[in-house]
Amino acid sequence: MRRVVVTGLGALTPLGPSVSQSWSRLLQGASGIRPILQLPNYKDYEPHCPPETAVAQVAGFAATNHPDLFTAQDLRRMSLFTQFAVVAAQEALIDSQLLDLLHRESSLNDRFGCVLGSGIASIHDFYDSILSFDGGKKLSPTFVPRILANMACGNVSIKFQLRGVSHCASTACATGNNAVGDAYNFIKLGYNDVCLAGASEASVHPLALAGFLRAKSISPDGVSRPFDGRRNGFVLGEGAGVLVLESLDHARARNAKIYAEIEGYGLTSDAHHITSPLESGDGARRAMQMALGSYNPSQVDYVNAHATSTVLGDRAELRAIQNVFQGSLNAPLKVSSNKGAIGHLLGAAGAVESIFTIKSLQEGVVPPTLNLETVGGSQGDDIFTDMGPIDLVKGAPERRELRYALNNSFGFGGINSSILFKRWDASN
């Protein structure tokens, strides 16, 4: 089996319109979350959502800022989540120094795949089209192409002429991790030499927010507090994360910059409930153990937790982490969540958080969990009283040498995914 490395990163997040800005602001303790009262279209939310609720929109994005990427015809055909994906994909390709190579060497295109997904795709188009529907006369001919979840993948493949595997993962909030894991397997099995992998989500919309509020998933006071005793739901976010994955041989042949190596991928099902995780965290435990494979848990230095700030979810994930690592650690295992700063990006969460995990490995720093003040404390949170060698990072970034890290993502339907990343060492 071939070894798979990461050679490019691209992202749009509530913290910024690029990887560098998003990462820098994450380490600074910035927040991309704001109350719906501050939104220009607040009146659209007002009848359905309490003013205390908040969202995390992509910062600094406008399609008009990218005339090299979008024609007027493109914008008629592409939903917002697809536009996010195209911009993040271009950043990743430029970062990997593959964009010009794609233009010069057409043979590369045939072995260059694209695995991009979305959890909800375009709720904006559904909503607007249903409101204006009059039997079909005013319905846009681009309606169906704009709402399909695979259109981010399709349009990115067309835009950059990627003629390898074209595949769309759509597994709710596990989508981004599943896309990266699937692309990893496609390269490992020889389907592609290079692959764009990630996910995009543009679901900050009154209908989506109202739906999650009805499901009692959203924080009513607009604060995301992963692992905190006052946690009471997530904050709805949006964004895109795209990674360039490449076989090690291919990367070395072109002397590519390498960020990290992917060492394992785990995916399991709770087979329990459509929205609630197993209290024991058993599905998450099995996904992490699958990602670890033959690695000893003691080799892992950091877990970037899915931790969305829900009472049941955070508790179940911490139980899973304890079950995997308890008794095997020689030094404290650092654990944190990015969602206090960026909210929950739904399908895009795993892709963006994979990028942050890789940056942690590369720079030897663990971002803190924003808004984590008092660990645990909710009813039933006995799991927080004795965490052994597990250290929930809060307050400020922690500098330390990191060699291996897990990134977790879980989704409605009982889906669990975990990816094991290794800091790149040229000697290996």
pLDDT tens-digit map of 341-371: 999 999 999 999 999 999 999 999 999 999 9
| CA 90, 420, 424, 247 torsion-angle sign | negative
Residue predicted with more confidence, 106 or 309: 309
Q: Would you call 310 helix, strand, or coil by DSSP?
A: coil
| Residues 153-170, mean pLDDT to the nearest whole number | 96
What is the pLDDT, as a whole number, of residue 426? Answer: 76
What is the pLDDT, as a whole number, of residue 215? Answer: 93
What percentage of the chain reaches a pLDDT higher than 90?
A: 83
195 catalytically annotated: no
Phi then psi for residue 9, to 5 deg, are -135, 140
Token pair for 255: 């002397």
The per-residue pLDDT for range 273-323, each reduced to its tens digit, is: 999 999 999 999 999 999 999 999 999 999 999 999 999 999 999 999 999
Strands 4-12 and 260-269: antiparallel
Q: How does DSSP classify residue 57?
A: P
Report which of 44, 52, 36 is spatially closest to residue 232, judged by C-alpha positions. 52
Phi then psi for residue 8, to 5 deg, are -160, 150
Question: How many of the other CB atoms lie within 10 Å of CB of 333?
Answer: 25
Angle between helices 349-363 and 19-27 (to 10 degrees): 70
What percentage of the chain reaches a pLDDT higher than 70?
A: 98
Phi then psi for residue 113, to 5 deg, are -100, 175
* CA distance between the termini of the chain: 16
The mean pLDDT value of the chain amounts to 94
Distance CA 33, CA 70 (A): 28
The per-residue pLDDT for range 171-204, each reduced to its tens digit, is: 999 999 999 999 999 999 999 999 999 999 999 9
Per-residue three-class SS string for 264-308: EEEEEECCCCCCCCCCCCHHHHHHHHHHHCCCCHHHCCEEECCCC
Element (H, E) at 115: strand 112-117
Torsion angle of C-alpha atoms 21, 24, 30, 31, degrees rounded to 10? 50
The per-residue pLDDT for range 232-272, each reduced to its tens digit, is: 999 999 999 999 999 999 999 999 999 999 999 999 999 99
Q: Would you call 399 helix, strand, or coil by DSSP?
A: strand
Catalytic: which of 114, 153, 168, 173?
A: 173
Q: Is pLDDT of 396 > 80?
A: yes
Residue 300, Cα to own-chain centre: how many angstroms?
20
Phi then psi for residue 303, to 5 deg, are -120, 120
The per-residue pLDDT for range 211-233, each reduced to its tens digit, is: 999 999 999 999 999 999 999 99
Residue predicted with more confidence, 125 or 386: 125
Find all residues with CB under 8 Å of 243, minimum gap 6, and list them.
6, 8, 9, 10, 92, 180, 183, 196, 197, 198, 351, 354, 355, 358
User: pLDDT band for position 379 (50/70/90)?
Assistant: low
Q: Is 271 exposed, middle or buried (CB count within 10 Å of its CB: 0-12, 13-18, 19+)?
A: exposed
The per-residue pLDDT for range 126-161, each reduced to its tens digit, is: 888 888 887 656 788 888 989 999 999 999 999 999
Q: How far is CA 33 from CA 39, 63, 341, 408, 421, in A?
A: 11, 21, 7, 22, 28
All domains of the chain in start order, with CATH = 4-253 (3.40.47.10), 264-423 (3.40.47.10)
Token pair for 365: 């720093």
Q: Is pLDDT of 382 > 80?
A: no
Instruction: Give the full edge-to-edge strand order of the sheet including 34-35.
Output: 34-35, 54-56, 236-237
Give yes or no for a contact between 280 and 313, defined as CB atoms under 8 angstroms apart: no
Q: What is the pTM (predicted TM-score) of this model?
A: 0.96
Q: How many separate helices (H) and strands (E) can be counted in the chain?
A: 16, 16
Strands (E), 136-226: 166-167, 194-201
What is the pLDDT, as a whole number, of residue 11? Answer: 98
Find all residues with CB under 8 Å of 191, minimum gap 6, and list them.
113, 164, 165
Question: How many of the other CB atoms lie within 10 Å of CB of 154?
Answer: 16
Distance CA 199, CA 189 (A): 22
Distance CA 266, CA 190 (A): 19
Burial pattern 75-112, b for ≥16 Cβ within 10 A else e, equals: eebbbbbbbbbbbbbbbbbebbebbeebeeeeebbebb
